[in-house]
Structure 1
Amino acid sequence: MTETLYDIAIIGGGVNGCGIARDAAGRGAKVLLLEQGDLAGGTSSASTKLIHGGLRYLEHYEFALVREALSERERLWSIAPHIIRPMRFVLPHVKGLRPRWLLRLGLFLYDHIGGRRALPATESINLHRHPAGKPLKAGFGPAFVYSDGWVDDARLVVLNARDAADRGATILTRTPVDGLERRGAEWQIRSGASRFRAKAVVNAAGPSVLDMLGRAGEKTERRMRLVRGSHIVVPRLFDHAYAYFFQIPDGRIFFAIPYQDDFTLIGTTDRDHEGPLSEVKASAEEIAYLCEAANAYFAKAIAPADVVWSYSGVRPLIDDGSGKPEAATRGYSFDLDLDLQGAAPLLSVFGGKITTYRHLAKDAVEKLAGLVPSLTGRDWTATAPLPGGDFPMQGIEDLKAGLARSHSFLDAATVDRIARAYGTLARTWLGGASDMAMLGTHFGHGLTAAEVDYLMTREWATCAQDVLWRRTKLGLRLDSGQVEKLEQYMGEKR
């Protein structure tokens, strides 16, 4: 058994768990985070990749949730300007669906209840004359353009973990929790042959939160609703920088977003998930549904055969009795359980969304503050940059220009990718290289041994899937031979 007694052990390496680890480590706690797979290996890398208030939640009167999320948009952009960027969304008016006055009222609230400062306000456009109308079918005229943000969701998780580790946290991936048991005033945590001790436990296991409570021998009257959201990626349907927010006659909405320069991301669905969490994937019906929805708007038709990648994640939503999955709240709440002497707290996290992860983490840590004496200080994560994000929130182009000057052998696409993934930390592994050969083996599309080594030593990557689908999105570009070469290289390094 390890001699280390941690102040807080966090179970779950998604965005909530890593956010809590970062906040708690920064307040002086000795933190342990245990993740059964890879960081962001589940729901947190399967989002629509938006930092947004949730315009459609206004229809369900979720004003407090929307306000909270909107207040986080620019805050998150300011601390992570490399992985988060503003995006303008086009919302066409469709006759027979939501009336124009309702859309305008919703967007007026969206502009004004969240403390928007740097993001542009909503404007009315005519799609007959606007560039966003060109790829659409004939017949769309009036529309609105509003602001939200885009995020590299998996990197957001990893950077929170990296910052937590830099502040003293221990991050262990591929470490499933097999058992939890209170012994005296502390918790004993079992993972295979390993044992860990902690004064407090945070159950941030996402879709498995109830299962983890069961392993701890705890009961709750909480009910979770597991909702599957699926997305498809197709070759680029438009060549401008706007994204689209589309309505569907069944009352739902979906997004079409520029993705990795050459692709369009379309999603999401909302389906109750009833299968095992180890088998989460977009069904043929969901893929066809998204293609059909897109074909109602875009002049260029798509079919399931055009889908180059699909992914799906299970959202662990609070079961609030909503009839439809899309109506279930995206808010969050906590259950705090103590032993009879008021020690060994177990804090379970229910619900949440990626935009509000930092606020959720702050609330979680503050619930433990009086129970874990080592936790000191106030909310600090709102202004401290995430690793690599220590530059102005609108300074990404200057950063790219600097990298292009100092490493002129890199092509423009690679400079853009590296700057948006690592920010100022790109130079830590680029070093003084003056040509590609100095970065070691080139696996394709700008991915080199120097970058892979960095991801393995600093970002917990252990296999090609970690690198290609979470730390980068180069899985869309490398061929099977290049992937095999990368896997062999990483296997030799492990």
Structure 2
Amino acid sequence: MQRSDFGGRTTTVDVLVIGGGITGATVAYEAASRGLQVALVERADYGGATSAATGRLVHGGLRYLKQFDIGLVRESLAERRTLMSIAPNLVDPIGMVLPEPGLVERVGLTAYDLLSFDRNRIADRSKRIPRHRILSRDDLSRRGLTGLRSGALFHDAMMPNPERLTLAFLRSAGAYGAQLANDVAVETIIGGGGRVVGAQVRDGRSGRQGEIRARVTVNATGPWARDVLANSPVTDVLAPPAPPVRSEGIYLVTRQLSTTMVLTVSGHSHFSVAPWRGLSLIGPTETPYHGDVDDWRLTRSSIDDFLETVNTTSMLPVQLGPDDVLAAYGGLRPLTEQTSTDTYNASRASELVDHRADGLDGIVSATGGKYTTSRAFAESTVDTLAAIGGLQVRPSTSATAILVGCAASDADSGIVEQLYGGAAPAVHALADEDSRLARIVTHDGIPLAALAYSARFESPRSLSDLLLRRTGIGTVGLPADDDLAEMAAVAGAELGWDDTRIDAEIKASRAELSVPDH
């Protein structure tokens, strides 16, 4: 995936996308695949921040039934099927148990089945999803859920490595000519006379300024959307008041506690315990956060509070302590801006704000996005961009075209095939050429060759980028010191780092991957 250099020059495109999370990635792909010239800049790394703080579910929105948001449920169900079709190695069905379902829950699951009547209109039989069913106590015991008296089994889908899905959309955008760059910050949005014409940017690698001029600019920066507007004189009038509260969601990784995903639902929260890469992924929380977006950090107190909630409300057969947490991560949800302090019941719908209604042409803000509906949101967004910019676009094909690098896999595929799809043979070839790179460095089989491949072809800025947002090596916990040093050496050889840079990367990665102690 080639990284563009925007420093020291003026670039002219149809669409400038600010933000390289899942919303920005899908918009860039949709726009480029429909014939538009696209530039995307991300101030940090692709798929980081909020896009990395996910429970890895691609779900039909069962919880939205409680809010009677039938349209969002139907859209989510349709996009669940679409993502399994266009990213077959990255998205698969997963069964989950709702403990002790009452009449309301059973009616809701029946409605969920009815709303997903077309869920199995998919060629790959392994992606087909059955109707929900009630499990007997013996069924539950066979799944290791001995503490439950009853449960309802239903299915959604899971993307074990969402960072790879974001990259797949970006690589697909690049294949259609989109210019992409991480480590490029927007210094100011530019324009005048009631119109935005692009942005002044600074490349973090070269330090050089550049200018990207566009017919339409898309602010796809998630929780930073308001700040991006407020920090530029041309757009500060568009920035709404800072919301009084935001929603923090964190996740914990522990040893495997169950081979079946189990939900815990209460009036104002829900979390799951999901089998993931031979471990358990527990989350999310739904915690009010007061403060600036840039000041948010995962803290020990947040982890301890969540452990207490899990121990007191879940039906797990064990009690968890701090030493059980192998890894932890989180972030702030990109909810549409609101004045209410009730984040749990806030809308999860995506929203495109066309700022012509505020008196400023040439810019939109894409907010509230999530993985499941990101492609559909991008499709409707590009329709709007074409109208705003007077642009001619081709019909959308993103609902049926397999993403670049994705390929069908089966239950016997290894983790390299799951992560890298069509590029898996190239990863294996690196391991065959160099026995050092054949060494397995995670419990589930990721070799050093994956890190070397991603360093060479996937535009990382740092060792942390490679461990967290390319290979998934670091998402299951901090590697041992010797392994971390070897990973840094492999990355350094590919990226031209000297010994001082390698030492700095090891230190930074250790700090980012460690479970917080304060």
What is the alpha-carbon distance in structure 2 between the residues aligned to residue 298 and residue 448 of structure 1? Answer: 33
What is the alpha-carbon distance in structure 2 between the residues aligned to residue 292 and residue 254 of structure 1? Answer: 13
Q: Secondary structure at the match of 2:17?
A: strand
What is the alpha-carbon distance in structure 2 between the residues aligned to residue 253 and residue 236 of structure 1? Answer: 20
TM (norm. structure 2) is: 0.83
The answer to whether residue 228 in structure 2 is matched with residue 212 in structure 1 is yes
2:318 to 300, 303, 308: 300
The corresponding residue for 1:410 is none
1:357 to 374, 395, 400: 374
What is the alpha-carbon distance in structure 1 between the residues aligned to residue 268 and residue 252 of structure 2? Answer: 20
Structure 1 residue 436: deviation in Å?
A: 6.6
Structure 1 residue 269: deviation in Å?
A: 0.7
What is the alpha-carbon distance in structure 1 between the residues aligned to residue 436 and residue 483 of structure 2? Answer: 17
The corresponding residue for 1:254 is 271
Deviates more, 1:4-13 or 1:223-232: 223-232
1:313 counterpart letter in structure 2: G
2:105 to 86, 92, 103: 103
> Which structure 2 residues correspond to residues 242-391 of structure 1 after superposition, within 5 A?
242-248=260-266, 251-261=268-278, 263-295=279-311, 296-338=314-356, 345-391=362-408
What is the alpha-carbon distance in structure 2 between the residues aligned to residue 343 and residue 319 of structure 1? Answer: 19
Aligned length: 462
- Structure 2 residues without counterparts, runs of 5 or longer: 1-7, 121-127, 496-518
Q: Secondary structure at the match of 1:297?
A: coil
The corresponding residue for 2:22 is 15
TM (norm. structure 1) is: 0.86
Q: Secondary structure at the match of 1:326?
A: coil
The corresponding residue for 1:412 is none
The answer to whether residue 410 in structure 2 is matched with residue 396 in structure 1 is yes
> Which structure 2 residues correspond to residues 187-202 of structure 1 after superposition, within 5 A?
187-191=198-202, 193-196=208-211, 197-202=213-218
Deviates more, 1:374-383 or 1:360-369: 374-383
Deviates more, 1:301-310 or 1:27-36: 301-310
1:175 to 184, 194, 200: 184
The corresponding residue for 1:228 is 248
What is the alpha-carbon distance in structure 2 between the residues aligned to residue 129 and residue 443 of structure 1? Answer: 36
Does the C-alpha gap of structure 1 residues 449 and 142 become closer, same or farther in structure 2, counting only changes over 3 Å?
Answer: closer
What is the alpha-carbon distance in structure 2 between the residues aligned to residue 321 and residue 166 of structure 1? Answer: 41
> Which structure 2 residues correspond to residues 121-132 of structure 1 after superposition, within 5 A?
121-131=131-141
What is the alpha-carbon distance in structure 2 between the residues aligned to residue 301 and residue 188 of structure 1? Answer: 52
The corresponding residue for 2:87 is 80
Structure 1 residue 417: deviation in Å?
A: 1.2
Structure 1 residue 336: deviation in Å?
A: 1.6
2:462 counterpart letter in structure 1: C
1:487 counterpart letter in structure 2: A
The corresponding residue for 1:473 is 472
Deviates more, 1:99-108 or 1:318-327: 318-327
What is the alpha-carbon distance in structure 2 between the residues aligned to residue 440 and residue 313 of structure 1? Answer: 33
Structure 1 residue 458: deviation in Å?
A: 2.7
Identity %: 28
Structure 1 residue 108: deviation in Å?
A: 1.1
1:121 counterpart letter in structure 2: R
Structure 1 residue 435: deviation in Å?
A: 3.8
Structure 1 residue 20: deviation in Å?
A: 0.3
The answer to whether residue 168 in structure 2 is matched with residue 159 in structure 1 is yes
Structure 1 residue 374: deviation in Å?
A: 4.9
The corresponding residue for 1:145 is 153
- CA RMSD of superposed structures (Å): 2.6
Structure 1 residue 488: deviation in Å?
A: 3.4
Structure 1 residue 100: deviation in Å?
A: 1.0
Q: Is the 8 A contact 1:463 1:487 kept in 2?
A: no
What is the alpha-carbon distance in structure 2 between the residues aligned to residue 246 and residue 35 of structure 1? Answer: 36
Structure 1 residue 127: deviation in Å?
A: 3.1
Does the C-alpha gap of structure 1 residues 284 and 36 become closer, same or farther in structure 2, counting only changes over 3 Å?
Answer: same
Q: Is the 8 A contact 1:34 1:175 kept in 2?
A: yes
The corresponding residue for 2:53 is 46
Deviations 1:327-379 (A, max 9, x none): 11101211223599x99610111212211111111111110112345541112
The answer to whether residue 96 in structure 2 is matched with residue 89 in structure 1 is yes
The corresponding residue for 1:444 is 441
Structure 1 residue 81: deviation in Å?
A: 1.1
Q: Secondary structure at the match of 1:144?
A: strand
Structure 1 residue 221: deviation in Å?
A: 6.8
1:376 counterpart letter in structure 2: V
Structure 1 residue 226: deviation in Å?
A: 2.5
Q: Secondary structure at the match of 2:334?
A: strand
Structure 1 residue 85: deviation in Å?
A: 0.8
Q: Secondary structure at the match of 2:335?
A: strand
Deviates more, 1:287-296 or 1:209-218: 287-296
What is the alpha-carbon distance in structure 2 between the residues aligned to residue 256 and residue 116 of structure 1? Answer: 24
Q: Secondary structure at the match of 1:311?
A: strand
2:107 counterpart letter in structure 1: L
The answer to whether residue 437 in structure 2 is matched with residue 422 in structure 1 is no
What is the alpha-carbon distance in structure 2 between the residues aligned to residue 129 and residue 39 of structure 1? Answer: 42
Q: Secondary structure at the match of 2:250?
A: strand
Does the C-alpha gap of structure 1 residues 71 and 339 become closer, same or farther in structure 2, counting only changes over 3 Å?
Answer: closer
Q: Is the 8 A contact 1:127 1:133 kept in 2?
A: no
Q: Secondary structure at the match of 1:355?
A: coil
- Structure 1 residues without counterparts, runs of 5 or longer: 94-98, 401-415
Deviations 1:84-130 (A, max 9, x none): 1100010011xxxxx61100111111112133222111001123443
The corresponding residue for 1:411 is none
Q: Secondary structure at the match of 1:316?
A: coil
Structure 1 residue 303: deviation in Å?
A: 1.3
Structure 1 residue 65: deviation in Å?
A: 1.5
> Which structure 2 residues correspond to residues 453-464 of structure 1 after superposition, within 5 A?
453-464=452-463
The corresponding residue for 2:37 is 30
Q: Is the 8 A contact 1:230 1:281 kept in 2?
A: no
